[in-house]
Amino acid sequence: MAISIYKISEQIRASIDGGDSPAASRREMEEVKEAVIQVVNGMIKAQHFTETMGLGEYIPDGAFLTQYDDISVESYKNVSRATLPAMPVNLPFGIGIYHVGKNDDFFNGFIPFQAGELQMIGGEPILSEVLGQIAYEPNGKYIVFNRDITVGDDDTAITSICVRLVVKDLALYSDYEMLPIPASMEAELIQKTFEILNIQLPANKKVDVVNKPAEA
């Protein structure tokens, strides 16, 4: 489910206004939105990102490097894949997907390929094995690996990964753009935003993120 700054802020403000706590006074929308941005930046470990590419291309201003841990990997056909936690900025050489690797091995990432390249080398026995390494390429909202990395014993099977992406500065997102976080982070985002606003999440006033009518 898409999470926008406006949608999540409106849900939080409605829950504050409907709470029974004396602290649940009406909050201005801009204040709630600022708190949401602050929380999201912390959750995805956002940091400014600048880099000069090999051919002189520059990363556009307002780019942030973000990190997502414990992204699930699933078997897919004869290989495996993971869903991108957010859509990265489209950058030369696919650097928008900056790093994919094991959760516990931060500095040794898997080998990136451009879309379609793994298929191109599939008929070459030596190249297709990538010297025994794990390789991946982007495929829409997924990253697809060169083999099923979920298969193996407890020491070799990989069922979750760390992904680092280049996204644009949250302050540049419009009210209705999808935030660069997966839906699984929504409950944590709500809780942490209440903490930032120094308000207790109202008991028996849970935010309904499933049945809320869709916005026009």
Residue 87 lies in a domain: yes
* pLDDT of 23: 47
Residue 70 lies in a domain: yes
Residues 33 and 93 reside in one and the same domain? no
* Distance in angstroms (rounded) separating the CA atoms of residues 169 and 167: 7
Domain span at 75: 47-168
* pLDDT of 24: 45
Q: Pick left, alpha or beta for residue 51 (phi over 0 → left; psi -120 to 50 → alpha; otherwise beta).
A: beta
Residue 27 lies in a domain: yes
Over the stretch 31-43, which tens digit does the pLDDT of each residue have?
999 999 999 999 9
Low-confidence ranges of the chain (pLDDT < 70): 1, 18-27, 50-61, 122-129, 200-216
Residues 59 and 127 reside in one and the same domain? yes
Q: Buried b / exposed e across 8-39, counting CB within 10 Å, b at 16+?
A: bbbbbbebbeebeeeebeebeeeebbbbbbeb
* Distance in angstroms (rounded) separating the CA atoms of residues 106 and 162: 8
* pLDDT of 18: 67
* pLDDT of 208: 45
Residues 51 and 101 reside in one and the same domain? yes
* pLDDT of 60: 64
pTM of the model: 0.79
